[in-house]
Amino acid sequence: MNGVAQRKPGTPLALRAATAEDLMTPNPLSVRDGATVREALAFLIDHGISAAPVIDRAGQPVGVLSRSDLIIHQRESVTYLAEAPPYYDKSDLATRDGEPLGEDFQVERPDPTRVRDLMTPVVFSVSPPTPAGKVVEQMVDLKVHRLFVVDDNGVLVGVITALDILRHLLPR
């Protein structure tokens, strides 16, 4: 086969984890609340993640930023610099290296928006000893794809995604 465990249809599955700590991916990647939109987008894409916790200067989680947040922002706010003045012939325009710019070339205005302005300012979290069943219930009740795991000091120590839950489902 392809290395994937096969099971008979209808076979019950069991969650093979006792606590949030068992389910979590430790030391999640995070983005600073002062990062720009462009920096945050590059961060998510470069790391292959769909969302990240947003942390403040003290390292405390203050929100969540997802690719969806960035897409919505981009859709609502793209602006372009004004057209070249009429005394320029577009064929005269070129990069600093002399590469000619195409007829439809436009320059995008840099977006000064910061992550803190786009993030969802709520962090749904659990503590490491939270029972695994309670973690699943919370994700379903809150309709979220991820929960963050924070210790008693409020420090972010892990993340639990829907995929993490699926990884811990095994036939009974």
CATH number of the structural domain spanning residue 153: 3.10.580.10
Say how far apart CA 169 and CA 172 lie, in whole Å.
Answer: 9
Instruction: Please tell me whether residue 131 adopts helix, strand or coil conformation.
Output: strand
- What local confidence, expressed as pLDDT, does residue 5 receive? 60
* DSSP tag of 89: -
pLDDT of residue 60: 84
So what's the pLDDT on residue 79?
Answer: 64
Domain membership flag for residue 93? no
Residue 129 included in any domain: yes
What residues of the chain score a pLDDT lower than 70? 1-7, 78-92, 103, 106-109
Q: State both tokens at 62.
A: 């203050």
Helix (H, G, I), strand (E, B) or coil at 125: strand
Residue range(s) defining the domain that contains residue 137: 15-80+111-171
- How many domains does one find in the chain? 1
Structural domain contains residue 55: yes
Q: How far apart (Å, rounded) are the C-alpha atoms in residues 93 and 89?
A: 7
Cα–Cα distance, 146 to 140 (Å, whole number): 10
Asked whether residue 88 is assigned to any structural domain, the reply reads no
Tell whether pTM > 0.85: no
Query: Residue 75: inside a domain, yes or no?
Result: yes
